């Protein structure tokens, strides 16, 4: 059993309009034939999918040409082509070692023209359906817990 919740401080990403912007990020490793180096992934509740930069997928031995599905997605006001592959992702606790992690398999969209600041975006399918995620803007901290934590805390049956 993992000792949740894991807490992560927001990271600076900016400045924008004269103000430093902070973002909820967590350390992850992609797992394919090889392991990627740990990178910071942006937790994005507005993203339906987990997305990754192509260079990170290449580092684990996965090429976008091996995608089992391709769709057009709207990202940052533009429509881009995204190819999906099945990968494993490791979430690491803040300040933990590379050997401390929770691992799961999910569909990851590979974007050929990567523009986001962080090399991985963790979205609804593939992250929020694996964990309970709580954002604390005032504390500039995000908490990640086991999947059923919200349901258990509030006595709500999960939606199917």
Q: Which domain holds residue 70?
A: 25-130
Which residues neighbour 113 within 8 Å (Cβ) at sequence distance 6 or greater?
80
pTM: 0.92
The verdict on residue 7 lying in a domain is no
The verdict on residue 45 lying in a domain is yes
Per-residue pLDDT at 137: 93
Measured distance CA(49)–CA(43) in Å, rounded: 11
User: Buried b vs exposed e over 64-101: b needs ≥16 C-beta within 10 Å?
Assistant: beebeeeeeeebeeeebebbbbebebbbbbeeeeeeeb
Q: For the chain, where are the E strands, in sequence order?
A: 6-9, 11-12, 22-23, 25-31, 39-43, 50-52, 69-75, 78-91, 102-111, 120-122, 131-136, 141-146
Instruction: Output the tens digit of pLDDT for each of the chain's 160 residues.
Output: 579 999 999 999 877 888 889 999 999 999 999 999 999 999 999 999 999 998 999 999 998 778 888 888 888 788 888 999 999 999 999 998 889 999 999 999 998 888 888 999 999 999 999 999 999 999 999 999 999 999 999 998 776 6
The verdict on residue 57 lying in a domain is yes
The verdict on residue 156 lying in a domain is no
The CATH number of whichever domain residue 74 belongs to comes to 2.40.70.10
- Alpha carbon 50 to chain centroid, angstroms: 6
Measured distance CA(134)–CA(144) in Å, rounded: 7
Per-residue pLDDT at 1: 52
Per-residue pLDDT at 107: 96
Q: Please state the domain count of the chain.
A: 1
* Residues β-bridged to residue 132: 145
Which residues neighbour 160 within 8 Å (Cβ) at sequence distance 6 or greater?
none
pLDDT digits (tens, 9 = 90+) for 59-92: 999 987 788 888 888 887 888 889 999 999 999 9
The verdict on residue 38 lying in a domain is yes
């Amino acid at each position: 059993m993992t000792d949740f919740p894991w807490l992560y401080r927001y990271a600076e990403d900016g400045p924008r309009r004269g103000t430093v912007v902070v973002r909820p990020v967590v350390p992850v490793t992609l797992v394919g034939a090889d392991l990627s180096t740990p990178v910071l992934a942006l937790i994005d509740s507005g993203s339906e999918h987990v997305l990754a930069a192509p260079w990170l997928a290449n580092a684990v031995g996965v090429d976008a040409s091996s995608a089992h599905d391709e769709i057009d997605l709207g990202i940052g006001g533009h429509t881009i082509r995204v190819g999906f592959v099945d990968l494993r992702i490791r979430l690491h606790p803040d300040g933990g070692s590379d050997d401390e992690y929770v691992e799961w398999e999910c569909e990851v969209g590979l974007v050929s023209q990567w523009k986001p600041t962080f090399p991985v975006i963790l979205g609804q399918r593939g992250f929020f359906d694996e964990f309970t995620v709580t954002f604390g803007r005032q504390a500039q901290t995000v908490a990640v817990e086991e999947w059923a934590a919200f349901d258990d805390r509030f006595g709500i049956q999960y939606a199917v």
